[in-house]
Amino acid sequence: MNQKVSVIIPARDEADSIGGLIARVKAALSGHQYEIIIVDDGSMDNTKDIAETNGAITITHARGLGKGAAMKSGADSASGSILVFLDGDGAHNPEDIPNMILPILQSKADLIVGSRDFNCSETSGSYLPRKITNKLASCVTSIIISFFLPLATCFRCPVRWIGVPDAESGYKAISKRKWAEFSLVSRGFEIESEIVYEAAKNGLTIQSLPISCNWNANISRLSILRDGLKTLRLLAWKLMTDIGGR
């Protein structure tokens, strides 16, 4: 089935990379129905103009609201049945999109997480502190959704190991119907782990696939300490909210 794919790209001050990224998305999805949605999250440059010139749909936040807010704005406006999220700084390769959506098209998985942690993942550049932090955060998220979430929901979510090797990855694919089941509250980078949490809570099948990644594409706006603590606080709050299966 040739379902329409909505590629949602949060972007802030990505004028140097957004045009080339859009062209690569178009080439990668040449055999599919698709739309490209650029969510300009308070850019001070001409990211929006370049995106529109290259044929993308644009959504503009007058000021920066955060990555999570941008992802939700894009999803709300999407007309496709499959949503694909990737970063606007060129760190993710659009050529991986067909592999990311294939398990959804084949009804083999509900949420696909692009992982930079597999041996077969092609990564370039090196930022060791961030890589270590991502691995620790993914381990913590996997433990929470595998063991603490079942306890909080009185085992409505069964105890089972759900290993997500790169929960913080911004490269994800999901059906829009499943996305609509989520109760997402975060507006920042912590939305990546929140998506995984909500997928586990709603009984979705989560699959991780190797992706290509350029760690040196741009200087990340992610703060390892600040955003790491925000993610932990968010997951703890969601656990408390879900106690008793509410």
Domains and CATH numbers, the chain: 5-245 (3.90.550.10)
The 10 Å Cβ neighbour count of residue 120 is: 8
Sign of the torsion formed by the C-alpha atoms of 101, 168, 14 and 65: positive
Which pTM value belongs to this model?
Answer: 0.91
Q: Which residues of the chain fall short of a pLDDT of 70?
A: 1, 117-130, 215-225, 227, 244-246
Note the pLDDT of residue 133: 76
The 10 Å Cβ neighbour count of residue 61 is: 17
Note the pLDDT of residue 89: 87
Note the pLDDT of residue 131: 74
Q: Which SS3 state, helix, strand or coil, does residue 59 take? A: strand
Note the pLDDT of residue 44: 95
User: Which tokens belong to 151?
Assistant: 């306890």
d(CA 97, CA 89): 16
